[in-house]
Every structure is written in structure tokens, then in C-alpha cells.
Structure 1
Amino acid sequence: MPIDVAKAVSAEPRTAALTWGHKDIQLYHLGIGAGTPATDPGELRYTLESRLHVLPSFATVAGGGMALAGGMSAPGIDVDLAAVLHGGQSVELHRPIPVDGKATQKSKVAAVYDKGKAAVIVLRTEATDADGPLWTCDTRIYVRGEGGFGGERGPSERVEPPARDPDHTVERAIREDQALLYRLSGDWNPLHADPDFAKGAGFDRPILHGLCSYGMVLKAVVDTALDGDVARVRAYTTRFAGVVFPGETLCVRMWRDGGDTDGPGRIHVTATALERDGAPVLTDTTVEHA
């Protein structure tokens, strides 16, 4: 069997040193669409080093952000990379991410689930600096054709928003060069830049990185529902349900669940592609906040 579940889950964690500074933060924020309008005080918190704060989804790219690639090279994992999809992502924040930081990241396969026609590998990464834990990320890797081995099916990932109109609806335009800028934060997959490669993968043109959509949506939630305060985010989970293309528009809908504007609670979120009749992009998405 290409996936040796026992070997994968019992393997010792891999350790890597992470470093980042204000340029990495600014590049990431620009890559997810920050900076428009350029003189807006709210946008300057993402782009100007003297006012900078860090969107929690930066954890997915810190140090190059190659968690998915690392999961594919873990002990016990031997699969066809053409069958691999980034199925979902979660980030749990233990405290705000500093603008300049050094941390140790430990990564391991936390679980492998049997979904019948596919396997889901859960890669867990934990980052710690001199002051203690910073974040925990779970990357869910969907591998087509590797299910049916008799393993646990795993927990359900479906999270439905409330059956009412959303509390907030915003639209976020994706620039034509969005993927070209975002990839400078570490994801060099040519699927997001090379038209010929994208066509070979079955797409008319390069698609946006799923984690770029992930960051764009979290920024929309912070700016719209959390008073622009990144420190209020405690956890952020999503399932990647479909692709979106540079030049399209994300429609982000938000429903509050518990708490009020200033209190703790959870926000349900969906993101769809406006120009393609609301094709789903992110589903089963929640933001836990203080």
C-alpha cells in the first residue's frame, strides 16, 4: 500500500527553523490583495512597516510555507503527486504573530483517514518561539485513489452556516497578477503561473492558490466583522471546494454565531466566484474570535 498509516503516524516529528521579518509580512499581505486604497489607514496596517500587524493566515507561508510538500515526503507516504489536492486548512493562534520572528516548527502526520475512494492525510505543524507556542496548523491533503484500506473515516468536516441572510456580504476583486505576486511567498507551483502547465492540468488558464483565497477571505472577515483587529482571531478553518481565477471576484458572506461585535464567538463564512454563478471556492469555513 502506498500509504503506510502506522509508519506515517508514528514517525518522529520533523523540525525546521523559521525566520521572518517585516518584508515577508508586507509581501504576503500584498499577495493577498492588501494595499488598496494605498493611503487607507486600514490598509496601511498591512503594508507600512511602522504600523504593521500580522494577519494570522501568514502562518501558512512562514519560512516558505511548504507544509503540503513536506507532508508528501513524510515517512510512510508514497503517493502520486498528480492525485494530490489541498483539501482544507486550519490555523489556531496561541498569541499574535510578531512582525519579526524566529521560531522552531515541528511537523508530523497527525492522522490518515479512509474516505473510500480517497485518503486524507492530516499534516500538523506547531510553531514555538522563545516565549512559547505561536500557532498550530492542520493541512488536510486529499489523495485520490488511496482510500479503501479499512482505516477510520475521520470526523465530518461539514459546517453549515445559519439558515438566514448573512450579516455581512463583501466582494473582493482578484487582480490579474495576484497569483504571480502571491507565489513569491513560497509556493512556486507552475499551475498558478504557467498557462501551458495549467492547460495540461485541465484549466483554461492558471488558477489562484487556494491559500491565497484563504488569506483574502480572512482579511475580509477581519476588516468587516472584527474591527480590523487581527489579534481577535483565535482560529480559522476552511475546506477548499473549488478554484478561482485571477481577474475574478470573490463574494464573501459572513454569519455571526454567538457574541456580538465586540464579544467572543464564531463567524461562519462562505466564499464563491461571482462571475461563475456563485461557484463555491471556500466552504465549511469558520473564524473563531475573541
Structure 2
Amino acid sequence: MPIDAAKALAAEPRTGEIGWTRKDVLLYHLGIGAGVPATDPAELRYTLESKLRVLPGFATVAGAGAPGVIGGLSLPGVEVELARVLHGGQHLRLHRPIPAEGTATTSRRLAAVWDKGSAAVLVLRTEAADRDGPLWTDDAQIFVRGEGGWGGDRGPRARPEPPAGEPERTVERPVREDQALLYRLSGDWNPLHADPDVARTAGFHRPILHGLCTYGIALKAVVDTLLDGDPDRVRSYATRFAGVVYPGETLRIRMWRPVPGTVRIAVGAVERGDAPVLTDTVLQHT
């Protein structure tokens, strides 16, 4: 079996050092659509270094040289084909606000390996801390098609109930034609998001947007709409990637607040009949 769950879970964490500057944060913000209108004070907090606030989604790209989700495929006990891999979900927990520039030590390990029958799910956990203590914990769920069925732990089965009633707020966010080309400069160089030939080989008629870019666009919309534009209020943000987004499309982002401190979010592609792209999405805040 290409995935040896026992060996993968027993492997020592891989540690490293990352660093980032205000330029990296500004580039990430532009990559998720910040800066429109360019002179809007609400946008300048994301695009002007003298006013800079860091959206928590930056944790997913901080230290652009880090191996990212694909790095989970080179860990001991894991030998799989990249063509079988899907980025299934993301769960980010913030321990305190991310500074606009800094350095951190990261520790990466497999936190879980689940047997879903037709697929295996790897939970790749990255923890980051600086000299003042923990900064964030980030779990990426990696689906590997065709690698399940060994009788292992199936993992969580329950999914959140869909939000009830009409959303409290609904906003639409256009995705630029060059959004993927801009976002990839933050460190995800997968040609699927830029090269039409690679996209066609993967079964798409043209390059698709990075899932983590959609994740960031939705996070910014919630912060701007329901959290008074204060990214430091975010405590955790989790989603399941349910479908693709093509650059040039429009995202419809619906938001519910079922209880204080919780926002439920659903994101669809307007031009394709609100086809789901982010589901089971929950943001916790102060």
C-alpha cells in the first residue's frame, strides 16, 4: 500500500524557519482581490504598508518557500501520484494576530490518516511560533483517490447541518481574469492554475483558481462585512473545497450568524447557477 499509516503518523515532525515582510503580505492581499477601489480607506488597510493589517489567511502562504500541501506527499510512509491528489479542506486556528513582518519556526507532521474506502485522507498539520509564542495551527486535508480500503480509521463522519433560513448578508465578489496569475506569486506555482495545456490534461477547459485564493476572498468578505474590518477578531476559519472557480467568474458569498461568535458561510459561482465552491465553512471570532 502506497500509504503506510502507522509509519506516516510515527514520523518525527519536520521543522523549519520561515520569514515574511510587508511586501509579502501586500502581495497576498492583492492576490485575493484587495485594493478595489484603490483609494478606499477600507482597502488601504490591506494595501498600504503604513496602515497594514494582516488577514489571517496569509498564514497559508507565509514563507512562500515552504512546500505547502504538496509537501505532505513527501513525508515518510507516503508515496502517491500527484494526479490522484485533491486539496479537500482547510482549518486554520489563530493563537494571536499575525505580525506584518517577522520570522517563525514551523513544525509539520501528519496529524491523522483516514481510510474513506475509495480514498485516503491525510491531515497535514503545520504549527508556527515566533519568539513570543504560538502564532497559528493550520490543518490541510489532502484527499488521495484510490488509496483507501485498508480497514483503517474512517475519521469524522458528521458534517455540519446546513445553515437554516435566509442569510443575514449576501455579497458578490468578482474574480479577475488574472487573479490566479497574481495569487500564484505568493508561492503556489502549480501550473494547473496558469497553463491551459496542464489544465486540459487535468480535465478542465482552462486554468482554475487556487482553492486557497477562494478561501482568502471569502474570509476578507466576512471580515469586511461582519467584523468591522478587524482581522484580529478571527479565531478560526475552516472550509471544505466543494468545487472549482474559474478566473473571471463572480463569487456569491452568503453569511449566517446562528450564535454569537460564529459565522456560517457558503460560497457559489454565480455564472454556473451558484454551483458550490466552498461548503461546511465556519468562522469563529471574538
TM-score (norm 2): 0.98
Question: 1:157: Cα distance to partner?
Answer: 5.7
Structure 1 counterpart SS, 2:63: helix
- For the pair 1:240 / 2:241, whether they are aligned, the reply is yes
- Inter-partner Cα distance in structure 2 for 1:213 and 1:158: 21
Question: 1:171: Cα distance to partner?
Answer: 0.3
The amino acid across from 2:55 in the alignment is: L
Question: 1:160: Cα distance to partner?
Answer: 2.8
Indicate the residue corresponding to 2:133 in structure 1: 132
- For the pair 1:274 / 2:270, whether they are aligned, the reply is yes
Structure 1 counterpart SS, 2:188: coil
The amino acid across from 2:159 in the alignment is: R
Structure 2 counterpart SS, 1:62: coil
Count of aligned residue pairs for this structure pair: 285
- Checking the alignment, whether the CA contact within 8 Å between 1:84 and 1:141 is kept in structure 2 is yes
Indicate the residue corresponding to 2:254 in structure 1: 253
> 1:32-111 to 2 correspondence within 5 Å?
32-64=32-64, 66-111=67-112
Deviating 4+ runs (over 4 angstroms): none
Deviations 1:22-77 (A, max 9, x none): 00000000000000000001100000000001000100000115321110101100
The amino acid across from 1:153 in the alignment is: R
Structure 2 counterpart SS, 1:182: helix
- Inter-partner Cα distance in structure 2 for 1:216 and 1:17: 27
Q: Structure 1: 5+ residue runs without aligned partners?
A: 260-264
Structure 2 counterpart SS, 1:136: strand
- Checking the alignment, whether the CA contact within 8 Å between 1:67 and 1:139 is kept in structure 2 is no
Indicate the residue corresponding to 1:213 in structure 2: 214
Indicate the residue corresponding to 1:21 in structure 2: 21
Indicate the residue corresponding to 1:262 in structure 2: none
- Inter-partner Cα distance in structure 2 for 1:273 and 1:66: 29
TM-score (norm 1): 0.97
- Inter-partner Cα distance in structure 2 for 1:220 and 1:127: 25
Question: 1:91: Cα distance to partner?
Answer: 0.5
- For the pair 1:177 / 2:173, whether they are aligned, the reply is no
- Inter-partner Cα distance in structure 1 for 2:158 and 2:48: 37
- Inter-partner Cα distance in structure 2 for 1:175 and 1:67: 24
The amino acid across from 2:197 in the alignment is: D
- Checking the alignment, whether the CA contact within 8 Å between 1:90 and 1:237 is kept in structure 2 is yes
- Inter-partner Cα distance in structure 2 for 1:283 and 1:157: 14
The amino acid across from 2:16 in the alignment is: A
Structure 1 counterpart SS, 2:89: strand
Deviations 1:195-229 (A, max 9, x none): 11111111111000000000000000000111100
Question: 1:161: Cα distance to partner?
Answer: 3.4
Q: 2:280 aligns with which of 267, 279, 284?
A: 284
The amino acid across from 1:283 in the alignment is: T
- Inter-partner Cα distance in structure 2 for 1:241 and 1:258: 25
- Checking the alignment, whether the CA contact within 8 Å between 1:157 and 1:284 is kept in structure 2 is no
- Inter-partner Cα distance in structure 2 for 1:145 and 1:283: 23
Question: 1:163: Cα distance to partner?
Answer: 1.5
The amino acid across from 2:188 in the alignment is: D
Q: CA RMSD in A?
A: 0.8
- Inter-partner Cα distance in structure 2 for 1:83 and 1:37: 40
Deviates more, 1:196-205 or 1:238-247: 196-205
- Inter-partner Cα distance in structure 2 for 1:44 and 1:87: 32
